[in-house]
A and B are shown apart, each in its own frame.
Chain A
Amino acid sequence: MIEVKGLRKSFGDNEVLKGVDLTIEKGDVVVILGPSGSGKTTILRCINFLEKASEGTMVFDGETFDLSSMNRKDIHRLRMKTAFVFQNYNLFANMTVLRNVEIGLTAARGMGKAEAEEIALRMLEKVGLSDKRDAYPSQLSGGQQQRVAIARALASSPEVIYFDEPTSALDPELIGEVLAVMRDLADEGMTMVVVTHEMNFARNISNKVLFLEDGNVIESAPTKQFFEAPSSERAKAFVRMITADRTVREDNKQKEI
């Protein structure tokens, strides 16, 4: 469905992505792993045109695009087929939950108010927040805001949703509710690309892993293979470190309790 080839991105002299390839099939849950600063966010931002790539091509539903010279019309057209969930939610602070979810339908897609509202309410139900329809983002917990953001992403029936560390800004006790929603989406066959440090999610929900270091793809493999028999030492070390770190944190939490 989506095939990215030779994606490069520099900020000034700093080359952040050094030729990344990424293939996403319909129904895939691709997890992007890698240390902080390795370029994970930049990949998602480049393939959704929030950042202009320096080089690279993308095939989307059979059409080929040059990522370094996209025109505004194509960008708009492709964005209509995708959705983005940000690390810090980025809900529209001046709108109620319901309007946050339906504005992409009414304003961007010209859908009638009644129909848009019906869809928006269905999406809110899906993330378990129907009762918050009239609340403002500032009245919600982080976990609730992120679930609204997911409902907003779902409303336009995207072909793929990009998640950039959707649980990293959340207090530990709120992570579960967001991951649960994402798990449901995966079960329904939603195509997703997820940057995350949640190893359990990566291990149990994703079917492909892309391991990134310093702007290079070190390993790109089916999930099972990545965790059971990683071909690179670095990937092995990374998984071990993240898992250990998590265990330590959870141990500490246990002690606190």
Chain B
Amino acid sequence: MSRFWMILIEAFPQILLQGIKVTLPLTAVSFFFALIISVIVAMIQYADIPVLKQICRFYIWLIRGTPLLVQLYVIFYGLPSVGIYLDAWPAAIFVLSFNEGAYMAETVRGALESIPVGQVEAGQCVGLSYLQIMWHIVLPQAFKVAFPSLSNSLIGLLKETSLATTITITEMIRQAQIINSKHYETLGLYCEVAIIYLAFCTILTWIQRAAEKRLNRVGGRTEND
């Protein structure tokens, strides 16, 4: 077998291992926090709570108007100069969660607003409290509306974790760089990274499809027509 394939075959488990040890957990944890952030931020805007609402708008404006890479640099390399030291992992999780959370908040807000007000009023009329209306009526329907976009965010986030390499986290690209510095097989190694990303995303897409099918089976269709 040629040297080229030898290197790629040897590199594959090492890169994949970083994918499993770093990329996937970083994605999962960040997405979990991003989801919580987005639901809270969206609900504050939906409920039109003064002051908090302005803070949420500011947060979304700030995050969406600046590059993720800059956010990572500011938090990881910038904050130490004012005495705040974060390790690479907490910094990455913090930045990725708040970054993706801002985009997802807009998705969730749109989904909440798409639920007919009439159902909220009907909920009030049968005596449900605001939180009960949110919990039993609005959120379940909004979740279904938001699901495809949220899945998109998850897939986007998976790929964005690659930027964590810039703050010293050895994820897949960093691992490929390390191997490359020994063997100089740039094209092959980075293509290998691409293929692993592709495989991860493909699996996520399958899961999304299956989940959407399930969601559409239970609960009938939402009434947005």
| A residues at B contact (CB < 8 Å) | 48, 50, 76, 79-80, 82-84, 86, 88, 90-95, 103-104, 107-109, 136-139, 149, 152, 156
Contact = CB atoms under 8 A, between A and B. Distances in A.
B223 A138 contact: yes
B119 A108 contact: no
Contact of A94 (B126, B129, B132, B219): B219
20 contacts: A76-B127, A86-B118, A86-B122, A90-B116, A90-B119, A90-B122, A92-B119, A92-B122, A92-B123, A94-B140, A94-B219, A103-B136, A107-B136, A108-B128, A109-B127, A136-B219, A136-B220, A138-B220, A138-B223, A152-B126
Given A90-B119, A94-B137, A108-B132, A79 B125 contact: yes
Q: Kindly state the interface size class of chain B when it binds its partner.
A: 20 to 34
Contacts of A93: 119, 141, 219-223
Contacts of B127: 76, 79-80, 104, 108-109, 156
Given A90-B122, A94-B144, A136-B219, 8 more contacts: A76-B127, A88-B118, A90-B118, A92-B136, A93-B223, A94-B141, A95-B137, A136-B220
Contact of A50 (B124, B132, B137, B221): B124
Contacts of B137: 92, 94-95
A48 B219 CA distance: 29
B124 A79 contact: yes
Contact of B125 (A48, A94, A109): A48
Contacts of B141: 93-94
Interface string B112-124: 0000101101111
Which of A90, A103, A109 neighbours the largest number of chain B CB atoms within 10 Å of its CB? A90
Interface of A is mostly: loop
B125 A84 contact: yes
Contacts of A48: 125
Nearest to A48: B125
A209 B121 CA distance: 26
A90 B43 CA distance: 22
A64 to B, nearest CB: 22
A24 to B, nearest CB: 17
Nearest to A83: B125
A155 to B, nearest CB: 8
B223 A83 contact: no
A92 B132 CA distance: 13
10 cross-chain pairs, A with B, having the tightest CB-CB distances, nearest first: A136-B220, A104-B126, A108-B127, A90-B118, A90-B122, A84-B125, A93-B223, A138-B220, A94-B219, A94-B140
